[in-house]
Amino acid sequence: MNELLVFMCDGAPVRGEIVSIGSAWQAVLERRNDPPAVRRILGDFVGAATLLSASLKFDGTLIIQAQSKGPIQLLVVECKSDLSMRATVKLSVEPEEIADNASLGELLDASNTGRLVITLDPAKREPGQPPYQGIVALQEHRGNRVQPVSCAAEAIALYMQNSEQLETRIWLASNDNMVGGLLLQRLPDSGGHAHLDPQVAAEGWSRIQTLGETITSEELLTLTPETILRRLFLEESEHNGVRSFPPRPIRFACRCSRTKVADVLRMLGEEEVQSILAEQGTVETICDFCAKPYRFDAVDCLQVFKTDLLSDATRPPSSGH
């Protein structure tokens, strides 16, 4: 089960999404060996990235990147507008040092250093045009206190509030088999629900949120999006109903390639690459996302720096990838 379902509420200014990710999530995990707490946090962000990507108005990629000086040094989830995704984590400590029940704050916000960066990167950008980025600290100011956000859903809600200025509620759940998520978003009153009286619209948004709050992690992880929609909003049929759209498939996909690795070697510079060759005999690297190995021998590296076109810069590897 790897699908995302989008729905609209006719009696309230609300757009929603339900996501269920099975084999695509397991494809991420089988290439990694992270502690349970890290897998849980990574899974939640995979669910969040997929939900946010479904509303992209362009062909491109949404990237969630969390950085900190804590045990999780870097977390990256990429999801394209076609809902193909990949994810990785880099730790600053040994996996066995991380407790199974460690929280997001403990892993990603040590000494209030954590931050969340969400990048929207269109496939076709004008020359010199940077991608859009929204940056959110992984802390909340409550009165005179600053405390870390408790979960990925809270972090994404902060981003939506600060960067997108859209009222958004999100529920996420993950285990070793599944990732599930529910997103509710209040639509602008000037949109397709402009006919609704402002008080009726406000009551509708409140009513849909109340129904959303009844969702459980078990339901998100065991039921299909269609079943969740039917059960969750059964009462909403009294308010003109809920319309759903055909479900969209989700898949794991990595965009690494030998050509892209050659590009990285060029950025390192010929002197640095020759130093690695002198010490190790070959330049070898493994993709952080899919664990695919790449090997460049002396002849490969010579071609990288003597060829203008990267497509011609790498002959088929003599061994390995």
d(CA 8, CA 89): 34
Residue 318: what pLDDT?
Answer: 45
d(CA 231, CA 214): 10
The amino acid occupying position 140 is E
* DSSP state string for 137-172: ESEEEETTEEEE-SSHHHHHHHHIIIII---EEEEE
Which whole-number Å values give the CA distances from 152 to 59, 269, 273, in the listed order?
25, 38, 39
Range in 20-24, 54-58, 314-318 with the lowest mean pLDDT? 314-318
Domain spans of the chain, in order of start: 2-252, 258-312
Q: What is the pLDDT of residues 105-162, one digit of tens each?
A: 889 876 777 889 999 999 888 888 888 888 887 877 666 777 778 889 988 888 887 7
Rounded mean pLDDT, 254-279: 92
Range in 55-59, 174-178, 273-277 with the lowest mean pLDDT? 55-59
Of the candidates 310, 297, 224, 290, the one whose C-alpha atom is nearest the C-alpha of residue 30 is 290
Grouping H, G, I as helix, E, B as strand and the rest as coil, residue 240 is coil
Third-level CATH fold of 2-252:
Hsp33 domain (3.55.30)
The amino acid occupying position 246 is P
Task: Indicate the CATH number of 258-312 among 3.40.50.720, 3.90.1280.10, 3.20.20.190, 3.20.20.120.
Answer: 3.90.1280.10
Name the residue with higher pLDDT: 142 or 219.
219
Residue 178: what pLDDT?
Answer: 97
Of the candidates 76, 94, 87, 95, the one whose C-alpha atom is nearest the C-alpha of residue 34 is 95
d(CA 178, CA 224): 11
Residue labelled with tokens 């995990």 = 29
Whether residue 182 is predicted with pLDDT greater than 90 in this model: the reply is: yes
Residue labelled with tokens 């707490």 = 37
